[in-house]
Amino acid sequence: MKSVLIIGLGRFGTHLIHKFYDLGDEVMAVDINEAKVQEAMPFATSAKIGDCTKLDTLKTLGIKNFDLCFVCIGENFQSSLEITSLLHDMGAAKVISKANTEIHAKFLLKNGADEVTYPERDSALKLATRYSVDNIFDYIELTKDTAIYEIPILESWIGKSIIKIDARKKYHINILAIKNNNNIQALPGAEYIFRTDDHVIVLGHNADVEKLLKKMD
């Protein structure tokens, strides 16, 4: 169980709170706006109204006790930077700040953010990648040229085992899981025999996965 501080209860901060609540983590929610704090209360372990650009407000929160501190303020660039920097100076274990623009992200990283999340850009990249090619069902970017993909199998794989198709050598991909409808078999053994309608969840370089996808055209 993690102890999480979420500052800023806009749409993004609220999604975070709901997810951490579902995961059973301990969440403190803070916003300058009372109504936002009221809305978050049922999903938070504790909630506070306060202006987090003020050192006094942050001091009352016990910053060092949190495993993660999220700053979820996009519109007010100045406040987001100030809060990120204060959290860092106060010894927060990990500060993750939300950015609305590339410049915002750069400033946050230079001013104390350990990590920056840029949700609008990230989900746009993911959607564009997924829909620009017909056969990508899901996609998680790991580095600029490596990702985890959910893709269909080649027709020629049906009835053959993983070892027989020699995925690593022939296609330079690692098969992490097999998905059929909504059933997932993680880390399938080499003897697994592919079935009609199987999807594979693979880790690979983008160029290698693209080559494999071209064989499906």
Catalog residues that contact ligand ATP under the rule CB under 6 A: 7-13, 30-33, 36, 51-53, 72-76, 79, 100
Minimum separation from the CB atom of position 32 to ligand ATP (A): 4
- The smaller minimum CB distance to ligand ATP, of residues 70 and 149, is found at 70
Minimum separation from the CB atom of position 115 to ligand ATP (A): 16
Residue 32's alpha-carbon distances to 51, 146, 151, 159, 207, in angstroms, are 5, 40, 45, 60, 47
- The smaller minimum CB distance to ligand ATP, of residues 11 and 164, is found at 11
Q: Whose CB is nearest to ligand ATP?
A: 74
- The smaller minimum CB distance to ligand ATP, of residues 48 and 130, is found at 48
- The smaller minimum CB distance to ligand ATP, of residues 10 and 152, is found at 10
The angle that helices 102-110 and 77-89 make with each other, rounded to 10 degrees, is: 20
Cβ within 8 Å of residue 84, ≥6 positions away: 71, 95, 97, 108, 111, 112, 113
Cα–Cα distance for residue pair 136/103, rounded to 1 Å: 31
Minimum separation from the CB atom of position 111 to ligand ATP (A): 15
